[in-house]
Amino acid sequence: MGTMARKKSAKKELILKTAAAMFREKGFAASSMRDLAEKIGIEAASLYNHIQSKAQILEEIIDGVSDECQLHLDNLEKSKSTALEKIESLIRFHTKMMMNRFEEYSVMVSQWMHLDGDKLLRFATNRRDYVRRMEAIVESGIQKGELKSLMPYVVVLNILSSVRGLEFWQRSAKTHTAQEMEDNMVVHLIGGIKR
Binding residues for DNA (CB under 7 A): 11, 31-35, 42-46, 48-50, 53-55
Helices 178-191/83-100 angle, 10° precision:
150
Nearest to 33 by CA among 24, 25, 42: 42
Residue 174 contact among DNA, its own copies, none, beta carbon within 5 to 8 Å by kind: none
Helices 152-165/118-143 angle, 10° precision:
120
Report how far apart, in Å, the C-alpha atoms of 119 and of each of 53, 58, 63 are.
Answer: 14, 10, 10
Q: Say how far apart CA 111 and CA 141 lie, in whole Å.
A: 32
Beta carbons of 115 and 73 less than 8 angstroms apart: no
Q: How far is the CB of 58 from DNA (least distance, A)?
A: 10
Residue with smaller CB distance to DNA, 38 or 74: 38
Residue with smaller CB distance to its own copies, 45 or 154: 154
Residue with smaller CB distance to its own copies, 71 or 154: 154
Nearest to 28 by CA among 119, 96, 136, 126: 119
- Window contacting its own copies (CB under 8 A); options: 4-12, 35-43, 69-77, 107-115: 107-115
Residue 132 contact among its own copies, DNA, none, beta carbon within 5 to 8 Å by kind: none
Contacts with its own copies, residue ranges (CB under 8 A): 25-30, 110, 113-114, 148, 150-151, 153-155, 157-158, 160-162, 164-166, 168-169, 176, 180-181, 184-185, 187-193
